[in-house]
Amino acid sequence: MARTRKNTVSPTTISLDWTQIDADLKAGKRVSLSHLAQAHKVFPIDLRKIFEARYGDQIIFKRGRTGGVFWKTAPGAAVKTPTAAVVNANNTTNAVVAV
């Protein structure tokens, strides 16, 4: 027999303060799924699905004592773009940044 849900709130009815969560993520602060889930009376796995639906693959989830939700790469970090060599009509090479 399947177990009944012990939470009193449906995950679809909660409203999260996304501006605060975005600000905490950008500042590098720890956003804990377990604390947010406990505050909104939902399961952490349901909250994780909500975060995945909103942010997609831009965030990662870390487990453990210092775990939580974090950006995959720090915002504002320099992202290296690959360069490609292009030969022009004079047979000289010019480095062009690939877009």
Beta carbons of 7 and 41 less than 8 angstroms apart: yes
Q: What is the DSSP string of 67-98?
A: -EEEESS-TTPPPPPPEEEEE-TTS-EEEEE-
Q: What is the mean pLDDT of residues 79-95?
A: 49
Residue 85 has pLDDT above 80, yes or no: no
**pLDDT mean over 27-52:** 89
Higher pLDDT, 80 or 77: 77
Q: Residue 68: beta bridge partners?
A: 62
Give the span between the Cα atoms of 18 and 22, in whole angstroms: 6
pLDDT given at position 19: 92
More confident residue, 54 or 90: 54
Average pLDDT, stretch 32-58? 90
Scanning the structure block, which residue is given the tokens 């915002």? 75
Look at the pTM and tell me if it is higher than 0.75: no
